[in-house]
Amino acid sequence: GDSVTQMEGPVTLSEEAFLTINCTYTATGYPSLFWYVQYPGEGLQLLLKATKADDKGSNKGFEATYRKETTSFHLEKGSVQVSDSAVYFCALRGGGAQKLVFGQGTRLTINP
């Protein structure tokens, strides 16, 4: 079945550091790919998405590119802030289905 694998956390960085959180997937067909973010005590929020190969999703300084050849959707940000501290989830939606398959989540902590 479809699956998503994220890099193990937790990840701790200093403010203004460069961030990469790796995400790879296994799916049949052409899935849509997502990054969701969960701030402490809250539900998940969509951060960005890409629906076809080579698409780049971007939001709030975060970017991820849909790479079909490597089945990856890595999340990047050039300069992180303390307010980016949260848990980040990579997810996919297989073609024709509405349900999402989530990765295990990566906890990110940014120190001032």
d(CA 89, CA 103): 6
Beta pairing class for 11-14 and 106-111: parallel
* Count of residues that bind other proteins according to CB under 8 A: 19
Which of residues 46, 53, 79, 83 is near other proteins by CB under 8 A?
Answer: 46
- E strands along 42-83, which residues? 44-50, 56-59, 62-65, 75-77
State which of residues 14, 79, 104, 109 lies at the interface with other proteins (CB under 8 A).
104
Residue of 10, 43, 96, 112 that binds other proteins (CB under 8 A)? 43
Kindly state whether residue 59 participates in binding other proteins, applying the rule CB under 8 A.
no
Name the residue nearer to other proteins (CB basis): 62 or 80: 62
CA distances from 69 to 30, 74, 92 (A): 12, 13, 16
Contact between 99 and other proteins by CB under 8 A: the answer reads: yes
User: Site residues (CB under 8 A) for other proteins?
Assistant: 32, 34, 41-46, 49, 51, 89, 93, 98-100, 102-105
